Amino acid sequence: MPQTLDTDFGRWIGCDRNINIDRLLSILMKRRYFLAFIGSIVLSCLLSLRINLFSSTIATAQTQTILVSAAASLKDALEEIKPGFEKAHSNIKVNYNFGASGALQRQIEQGAPVDVFLSAATKQMDALAKAGLIDTSTRRKLLTNRLVLIVSKNSNLKISDFPSLTNSNVQRIAVGEPRSVPVGQYSEEVLKNLGILEQIRPKLVLANSVRHVLAAVETGNADAGIVYITDAKISDQVKVVATAANNLHSPIIYRMAVIKASKNPQAAKTFAQYLTRTAAKNIFEKFGFGIAR
């Protein structure tokens, strides 16, 4: 006579109380394999999740982001350089902060988390060096530039050289603020050495970056402006009417250095070194910069 199950256990597993023992064993075996199957799936998912999280953590730890504060006149060239650098160095991401060199200098002095500084003049870099804020072993000359006089491409004013700015029909002349904007410093030197600075000073409209000087001429808010040749080249709204002789102003030399407080000094040095290589130099030259010797 076949054995039967007559306990609460039978009800717990959902079986009839008169179930055959052999059938019970069969059911239990099936459930055992089913639970083992489910368990293996859960374990596999947990292991996969752990591996993915571990891989993600490693990737995050390996990727470094650096902040490069650079003179506004470098914007277009540096934006074009960025993809090539990040492709060559996939573990380094570059963010830019563009502005007047003087303003960028003050940000660094106030503790901004900058890794690399590119200045359009020596003055700002010297100030940071004196304050002990740059890694002096990384400081170097990078680029040169030229100073030009621009007018709107549709201008009917007879402006052909810098002395023309004294003409009575020239009312507004855009220049950089000389205390904080290097292009303003160079512009003031040119006008002073030509002996016309005081005569045209009432006409000067001060801008807080070279790009704002360019915009003032493009929009007709200034009759003329003094910018770098690299800025004039990127605009189809202005034309160059004169180029300042090099002996009328201090040498226009862009300098570069890694900031001493950089959180990613090696990545910062890697980027700085990349800017001195052929690929970067070719882009700088395309935008009209000279390579500093």
| Bind-site residues for molybdate | 73, 101, 210, 228
Measured distance CA(210)–CA(188) in Å, rounded: 14
Q: Are the C-beta atoms of residues 175 and 206 closer than 8 Å to each other?
A: yes
Q: List, in sequence order, the alpha helices (H) in 151-233.
A: 182-193, 197-200, 210-218, 229-233
Using only the alpha carbons of the chain, give its radius of gyration.
Answer: 34
Residue 110: Cβ-neighbour burial (10 angstroms; 0-12, 13-18, 19+): exposed
Phi then psi dihedrals of residue 180, to 5 deg = -130, -15
> Which residues fall in the annotated binding site?
73, 101, 210, 228
Q: Are the C-beta atoms of residues 275 and 68 closer than 8 Å to each other?
A: no
Where do we find the tokens 């947990």?
Answer: 46
Pairing of strands 64-71, 92-99: parallel
